[in-house]
Amino acid sequence: MTLRHELAVWLFADWVGVLGWQEGQLQFAYRADWLARDDARPLSHSLPLQVEPFGDAG
């Protein structure tokens, strides 16, 4: 059994992405359905809306 290290990220009532631990790094990715919405907003200026996952800078 493989243990998954993932956390659902919500913005109010909307599931917007997943924060996870993969290959020794933190990663965040927005969900495709969130990115497709007309009212989608980024979580912060440092996490702009994009398809590619964000990796751990450190």
pLDDT tens digits for range 6-51? 999 999 999 999 999 988 899 999 999 999 999 999 999 999 999 9
Confidence at residue 22, expressed as pLDDT on a 0 to 100 scale: 82
- Round to whole Å and give the CA distance between 21 and 26: 5
Confidence at residue 1, expressed as pLDDT on a 0 to 100 scale: 62
Residue 10: enclosing H or E segment and its boundaries? strand 6-11
Residue 2 in this model has a pLDDT that exceeds 90: no
Residue 58 in this model has a pLDDT that exceeds 90: no
Which amino acid appears at position 16 of this protein? V
Confidence at residue 11, expressed as pLDDT on a 0 to 100 scale: 97
